[in-house]
Amino acid sequence: MNDTIHLGWVGWVDLDQKINTFVNQTIPTPTYRMNDQFLTPTWANLIPTSQHLTNFTNRLH
């Protein structure tokens, strides 16, 4: 019988290699632009109905 839950030392070595490859890859830093309206009390207290969200979104433009 085999224990299918635990990786064993060979599984951990394989997993460690895969994680190391992923962690060490170079990717471009994302840039984000946040509309200041999402930091207002109006947005924080918005009751999320379809109509309220539509009205708020229309004011962003």
The full set of domain ranges for the chain reads 8-60
pTM of the model: 0.42
User: What does pLDDT average to in each consecutive run of 10 residues of the chain (61 residues)?
Assistant: 75 92 92 89 92 89 72
The pLDDT value given to residue 1: 55
Q: How many residues in the chain?
A: 61
Across 19-44, b (16+ Cβ under 10 Å) vs e yields eeeeeeeeeeeeeeeeeeeeeeeeee
Alpha-carbon distance of 33 to 44, in angstroms, equals: 18
The pLDDT value given to residue 2: 64
